Amino acid sequence: MSASICAFILTFSALCGSGVVSGALSRPTNVRLTSFNMNLVLRWDSPYGAVSDLLYTTEYNTSLTAYRVGCLNISLLECDFTHLNISITEYGKYTGRVRAQLGPGISAWAESNQITLDKDTIIGSPNVSLLSNGASIDVIIKDPVFTVSALRKVYIATYNITYWEYGQKEKARSISNIEQSRVVLNDLDLWTKYCVQVQINTERNPIPSKPSETVCESTTNNEEAPWVAAVVTFVVMAMAVALVVVTVVYRKSISHFLCPRDALPQHFKEMAPTNSSMYVVMQKTHPPEEIYHQVTVEEGYPLEAGETSYSKQPDVAVEER
């Protein structure tokens, strides 16, 4: 009897260790629905004693709809619903569930918590950059990028700015409820390095954002600005004087360059017989004297009987040359 009981206990333990009880696959554990910067991701852990070949199928629902398929037959331990071709709204209420599958064996569904996206999402840290401006520092803030919508479309957000001298964070000062994305820190010491962190607060989401990375910048001296302006003015004036001098000295070259004279085309130059010996002789000799004979044709007398007239036109005097 005791041997039979021991055999039963060993068999039961082996079945539990493989994740199967009476032919049924154990369901996933620690199922939770999460959101970061308005995404929607279902995460879970493998069933107790599960093998490595398990596949998972997920579904999600809203407060107004039934469950719909999310990820199908995946081996990962998470499913990002916002990357699927499904409609996610920033004010919706969502629940997820998942089940495991090994061959023909399918586990029961394991359901997650319910979240309201705008109230439960974790807001990421803003991006912060600093610009030194003499004895002050400009703090420039950029909101985190949301997967669904945008921060300013969902929330009325303000910033908490914390700043301190480098190496003295225990003496940090803070400015709260700032709505502008660019803030000037004025009450600073000259020639001092300061570090800044920014956090976002919203009314609908009770959890502040993650703090930004710490960024540092040094102040300078207010008297530097006039000197910089003087140097810039001097450089501009020197360049103007140099330009005038170059223009005066090389005015002819510049004029020829800007307004070139008209030149005879090359093929005309080649056709001109300037080097021909005949052309040179013709230039040096006088033009030849024209020889001509003067001929006078007068109006004729009436023809005698028997003479034939070939023309009735009056005679014209012509000079032959």
The vertex-196 CA angle with 192 and 199, nearest 5°, equals 165
> How many whole angstroms separate alpha carbon 319 and alpha carbon 321?
6
Across 174-191, b (16+ Cβ under 10 Å) vs e yields: eeeebeeeebebeebeee
| Residue 137: closest CA among 66, 28, 216 | 216
Q: What is the pLDDT of residues 254-294, one digit of tens each?
A: 776 667 665 556 655 555 555 556 656 666 666 666 666 66
Domain 2-120 has CATH 3.40.720.10: no
pLDDT in tens, 32-63: 999 999 999 999 999 988 788 899 999 999 98
Mean of pLDDT values over 161-167? 96
The CATH class, in words, for 127-218 is mainly beta
DSSP-based three-state secondary structure for 223: coil
Look up tokens 């004087």; give the residue.
241
How far apart are the C-alpha atoms of 301 and 169, rounded to whole Å? 142
3-state SS, residue 218: strand
74-78, 103-107, 118-122, 252-256: least confident range:
252-256
User: Pick from 146, 143, 208, 147: which is nearest to 179 by CA?
Assistant: 143
Provide the mean pLDDT of the chain.
81
- Mean pLDDT is highest, among 8-12, 17-21, 73-77, 83-87, for 73-77
The confidence score (pLDDT) of residue 192 equals 94
291-300 pLDDT, tens digit per residue, is: 666 666 665 5
For residue 140, list its beta bridge partners: 129, 182
What is the arithmetic mean of pLDDT over 182-196?
94
Distance (Å, rounded) from C-alpha 15 to C-alpha 107? 15
**Distant-in-sequence contacts of 52-56, Cβ < 8 A, 24+ apart:** 53/102, 54/100, 54/101, 54/102, 55/100, 55/101, 55/102, 56/28, 56/98, 56/99, 56/100, 56/101
